[in-house]
Amino acid sequence: MNKFNVVGKREPMLDALEKATGQARYTDDLSLPGMLFGKILRNPHPHAKILHVDLTGALKVKGIRGAISGRDIPKKKYGIVPMAKDEYALAIDKVRYIGDEVAAVVATSIDAAEEAASRIRVDYEVLPAVFDPLEAMKPGAPVIHDEVPNNVSATIRKEFGDVERAFLASDFVFEDDFKTQAINHAPIEPQAALAMVDHSGKVTLWSSTQIPFFLRRNLAATLDLPESRVRIIKPKVGGGFGQKIDLYAKDFCAAFFSMRTKKPVKFVYDREEVFTSTRQRHPFHIHLKTGMKKDGTINAQQFRAIADGGAYNSTAPLMITLACYFIMLPYRLENLLFEGCHVYTNKPVGGAMRGHGIPQVRFAVENQLDIIAEKMGIDPLELRLKNAFHAGEPHPAKLLVQSCGFHDTLIKAAEGINWKEKHGKLPFGRGVGMAGASFPSGVSNMSHISSGAVVKIERDGSITLLTGAADIGQGAETVISQITAEELGVSLDSIRITAADTEITPLDPGTFGSGVTLRAGNAARMAARDAREKLFEAVAEKLEANVNELEAKDGRIYIKGNPERKMHFLEAIKVYQYSDRPMPIIGLGSYFPPAKEPTTLLKEDGNFSPAYSFMTQAAEVEVDTQTGKIKVLKMVASHDCGRAINPMLVEGQLEGSVVGGMGQALYEDVITEKGQVLNPSFLDYGIPTAMEVPSITSVEVETDDPEGPFGAKESGEGTQLAPAPAIINAIYDAIGVRFKSLPVTPDKVLEALSQKGQQ
């Protein structure tokens, strides 16, 4: 029985009707009087010096209102990670990949802007380019950034335990190489920005962003303005998945031109720009060595990971740090040597994408675990159960895991896929597989990650919630509102939420690292509690009780253990008001997880997150041995999410991540040739459609984390870590072929079967 009033209920998203009926307004839906339209000119070379940019042709086009190149803007580098700043809003002296921004124009129509951009003439000196990260690291390779002579822009080397001794003490040692591909986030809504400058010179930017406050910081820096003169408003966002955490040229150019022209200015990327000139998941080259004891205990691992970062850093240091630390969960691993590096190449830029460096390493680990299980004669499920991490165990990297349902997720995933009846027992061409993972509930080792909230209780009983949290479609505003309603003891429809406006909402880091529910949810709960306690003071006087004896639930305030002595919420507000206390009732809350500043995990060990979620994916597949086509028949997503604030939204997140993981395993691949993206459209890029979605069973394993609001943890992003290896392991069970590079396409299957003599 649910002991809560609102938490745990299957409530639809607050904006579901608005979105379903087409009334939701995204950035490109916004329009202001006198608005100008922008277009960016992009570079056609993988690597070149910019010798001269001639804007005169563009300025002759009818309707043109401005044209700029990189030499017209403040020479300010930016980056989402402060220690890795390496980009200009427009290229100044050099371009580093096909699609790099060179110049921009604004005009009275988009047609005029496109015509003007086509008339810009640029003189380049083409430079040697490098496209393979392994080649880019070699002596004599083309230098992409002059200050990084070996093209290795970020590295991490961490050793836990005594790896050399552990390998010597191991009964078996396994070594394998793995490779993952570049994947585009492919959000339905392309990147867009609309800027307006008011009479005081203050810039307001509406942007399809995941991180309004970070965007304000970077935009102010590139414009050479104080943050107080920049306001960011996030409208509805049609998917982000990590791609919308960076500042892009569209943000800078919209604001810069608006400052120049004193007109509203809009920039919207087309689909090809989304594919070529935003961000993508990093391809990895991985070498994995694992030492095992005879009893199936993982004794040691040595991991070498080389990430192809493309032309710029974006989130490079954080990405390789996450890859390192989340090898050591969800399994017990005392001895690990991790060497990782981010390498520049003359290709599209890698950045944050769901899982942020972890899907690549989990593919390798979970794939090799099945190899090990077979060679050692152990059931893959039993191998995982034996090594499963448990709450409260000491962790070699000093991660503090207070709740962990990984063992239960393994059991429930196995039950859901009928593991005992199917693994190794289905006809040739059918098979099952599984994989496990862990993910943080927000990052707690860097600055600027506190979340704030304000709760206002009005005279009529309505409640206004102000939060900086950025809802990008995952239902964050609904979940935060449920938490607020639960704390105040009112219904969800009493809450009115305003979110993600840097001018009027409290500070919040935005949507990344799956920390919204925990960070912003805790802040909202604290603000609601603060407001509630003020109301309780007045009610306690009226009921002749102590404040700590009161409870709020079902729209009433009553004395614990004596529900007959109660007061309706509206009556309580009147009592408060008539006692000459100030209206509205305002509660403030702020949540900041314990952390060192600035980021230290590249150099020191320490707790990475306030809480950790755990998950197991199990897959059943069917392989057509005549065509090589793989059909995923069923997926079981078993997820430890703490307590599900809204089970329906949790299920939606799990299902979406399962399909994303299918894309990684079987379909998606940004194909480049000499730096040119060959499939920059939905026609050519292999995204799973509704026709490919299998039967998905979502299993929530509740563990009631002590740090999460009402026990809640991450749900959704972490689920994308394990589907790919689960599917690959199922393919092996089906046809006896082990694939160590992604995606596994029909031609790869046919070639492998031919070599095996099974076709």
Q: What is the pLDDT of residues 470-510, one digit of tens each?
A: 999 999 999 999 999 999 999 999 999 999 999 999 999 99
What does the pLDDT read at residue 83? 85
Q: Residue 212, Cα to own-chain centre: how many angstroms? A: 15
- CATH 3.90.1170.50 applies to domain 31-127+188-239+244-277: yes
Alpha-helical segments (H) within 60-109: none
Q: Which helix (H) or strand (E) holds 320?
A: helix 316-325
| pLDDT class of 1 with cuts at 50, 70, 90 | very low
State the pLDDT confidence band at 603, using cuts at 50, 70 and 90: low
Share of the chain above pLDDT 70, in %: 98
Same fold, 16-22+450-591 and 280-444+599-756: yes
Q: Residue 613: beta bridge partners? A: 439
Assess contact for 712 and 636: CB atoms under 8 A: no
Q: Cis link prior to 33 (omega < 30° from 0)?
A: no
Q: What is the pLDDT of residues 29-81, one digit of tens each?
A: 999 999 999 999 999 999 999 999 999 999 999 999 999 999 999 999 999 98
- pLDDT for 448 equals 54
Instruction: Calculate ∠ Cα 68-72-74, nearest 5°.
Output: 130
Give the position of tokens 């493309």: 310
Whole-number percent of the chain with pLDDT over 90 = 94
State which H helix or E strand residue 276 sits in.
helix 271-277
- Of 320, 327, 321, which Cα lies nearest the Cα of 298? 327
pLDDT of residue 593: 82
HEC states along 683-703?
CCCCCCCCCCCCEEEEEEEEC
* Residues contacting 419, CB < 8 A, separation 6+: 381, 413, 432, 434, 618
Report the pLDDT value the prediction gives residue 313, as an integer from 0 to 100.
Answer: 98
The H or E element containing residue 371 is helix 358-376
Q: What CATH number is given for 16-22+450-591 in this structure?
A: 3.30.365.10
Instruction: Check whether 605 has a pLDDT greater than 90.
Output: no
What is the rounded distance in angstroms from the CA atom of residue 557 to the CA atom of residue 534?
A: 13
Is 623 within 8 Å of 735 (Cβ atoms)?
yes
pLDDT tens digits, one per residue of 128-148: 999 999 999 999 999 999 999
Q: Are 207 and 192 in contact (CB under 8 A)?
A: yes
Query: Per-domain residue ranges for the chain?
Result: 16-22+450-591, 31-127+188-239+244-277, 280-444+599-756
b/e 296-307 (16+ beta carbons within 10 angstroms → b): bbbbbbbbebbb
pLDDT (tens digit, 9 = 90+) per residue, 272-299? 999 999 999 999 999 999 999 999 999 9
Contacts of residues 137-146 at CB distance under 8 Å and 24 or more positions apart, as own/partner, are: 137/306, 137/341, 137/343, 142/47, 142/346, 144/47, 144/96, 144/311, 144/344, 144/345, 144/346, 145/86, 145/96, 145/344
What pLDDT sits at residue 592? Answer: 87
pLDDT digits (tens, 9 = 90+) for 350-367: 999 999 999 999 999 999
Q: Is the bond preceding residue 709 a cis peptide, omega within 30 degrees?
A: no
State the fold for domain 280-444+599-756: Aldehyde Oxidoreductase; domain 4 (3.30.365)
Burial class of residue 596 in the structure, from the number of CB atoms within 10 Å of its CB (0-12 exposed, 13-18 middle, 19+ buried): middle
Using 50, 70 and 90 to split pLDDT, how confident is the model at 221? very high
Each residue's pLDDT tens digit, 451-477 = 999 999 999 999 999 999 999 999 999
The pLDDT score that the predictor gives to residue 599 is 47
Residue pair 433/732 in contact by the 8 Å Cβ criterion: yes
> pLDDT tens-digit profile of 12-41?
999 999 999 999 999 999 999 999 999 999
Beta pairing, strands 203-207 & 230-233 = parallel
